Amino acid sequence: MDKTVGWLWLQQTFGGEIWEHIGKDGDPAEVFDREHDNGKGLSPDEVRAMICRAEEMGQRVVCIDDEDYPESLRTLDDAPAVLFCMGNVSLMNSMTAVHMVGTRQPTRYTASLISVLCRELVLRGFAVSCGLAEGADALTAEAVLDNGGKLISVVPAALNGSYPKDRSLAERVAKSGLLVSVRPPDSKARPDFRRRNRLAVALSGAVLFTQAAADSKGLDNAKQAEKLGRPVLAVPPHLLYAKEYFGQRDLLRNGCIPLFDGGDAVRVMADNGVIAESSHALGNVKSHSAADGAAGKSAAKRSPAKKTPAIDADSSEGRIFAELNEHGELHVDELAAKCGMGMAEVMAALTSLEIDGMVKSLPGRRYVVS
């Protein structure tokens, strides 16, 4: 029996109880011969039809003993025996991903924050993981793809099912990133979001919350991260008493790590032994999307005169740049006071300016025009 047929037969027959019947280095044909004689499961022809259907749709069937199967999933007690993938399968092993969790109704602040953070994570050489629901997920996916980054999305249903609703976005991800599912094509089983969360977290080096209410279902990702030993970060709430942010408020109260820029994610994952901190410094990762920043730095070296950046003077970035250009080196607290902004907004704007080469950070949370 073909091993792919054997593994898929086992997964379809036993589901979450598969590892009670076979070891991860076992021979699925032996289990099939034993169990199928007892009348269990689909016929081999039915399983082969599933595999053919997947391949016709451009999906790749990856088994647990394949070289491209992700190491981070293989160690799970409930590891899926078979993955259905569309896109660049090697991403699951070749890049460290940050799993971003948000809300279907992000505030304007969160939308802006997602754009800045995704751009920085891409420039630092990370892949980004997220669902593909409306709202923050869609904004995350678009920001990553628009900046030439790699996006991984674990889908809670069959890859040709009704989830996500935005099929064009899913197709975009499949072209330059990766879609993953444990469901075969045409499966009518209900979407399993908890299973999706667990696999997405397992594939990632850290979990990052951009916005979550106290009753957000997305908070299950934090529970999965705790079980799997993944660090959890959260952007501090934009407004302390706004219920839209009570989920991340509670996470921070319970010891979650606050994130002000991509550097925080780097430090946390380095401390956890996931990456080498130096490998994800902004200056060490080259990308076509960094061209503007490089040009800005070059111009800064050519002329010490005051600069006029190509940014909206009324935007957060424009106001902060103007203060630094006028007053020179300033602490982030001084910038917040002078601009009348919250700290999270200041840090998001400074990160954007630093990526573009307009400003640089100094010790002690101080900034100056480059």
For the chain, percent of residues with pLDDT exceeding 90: 67
pLDDT tens-digit series, residues 165-175: 999 999 999 99
pLDDT tens-digit series, residues 117-130: 999 999 999 999 99
Across the chain, mean pLDDT equals 89
For residue 283, what pLDDT is reported? 59
For residue 287, what pLDDT is reported? 42
For residue 306, what pLDDT is reported? 43
Is 326 found in the same domain as 242?
Answer: no
Q: Are 110 and 102 in contact (CB under 8 A)?
A: yes
Is 253 found in the same domain as 182?
Answer: yes
Helix (H) or strand (E) holding 361: strand 359-362
Within a domain: 69: no
Contacts of 359 (CB under 8 A, 6+ apart): 320, 321, 324, 350, 353, 367, 368, 369, 370
What span, in angstroms and rounded, lies between the C-alpha atoms of 69 and 80? 10
Is 274 found in the same domain as 145?
Answer: yes
Q: Residue 298 pLDDT > 70, yes or no? A: no
Is 314 found in the same domain as 257?
Answer: no
3-class SS of residue 96: coil
Q: Whole domain around residue 127: which residue ranges? A: 91-283
Is 176 found in the same domain as 35?
Answer: no
Q: How far apart are the first and last CA of the chain?
A: 64
Total domains in the fold of the chain:
3
Does this model's pTM top 0.85? My answer is no
For residue 302, what pLDDT is reported? 35
Is 298 found in the same domain as 271?
Answer: no
Two tokens, residue 266: 């780097």
For residue 278, what pLDDT is reported? 82
Please tell me the number of Cα atoms within 13 Å of 116 on its side-chain side.
28
Is 228 found in the same domain as 194?
Answer: yes
Is 310 found in the same domain as 179?
Answer: no
Within a domain: 190: yes
Task: Kindly state the average pLDDT of the residues 229-236.
Answer: 96
Is 1 found in the same domain as 95?
Answer: no
Q: Residue 286 pLDDT > 80, yes or no? A: no
For residue 344, what pLDDT is reported? 73
250, 283, 316: which is the final residue of a domain? 283
* Residue pointed to by tokens 């999706």: 196
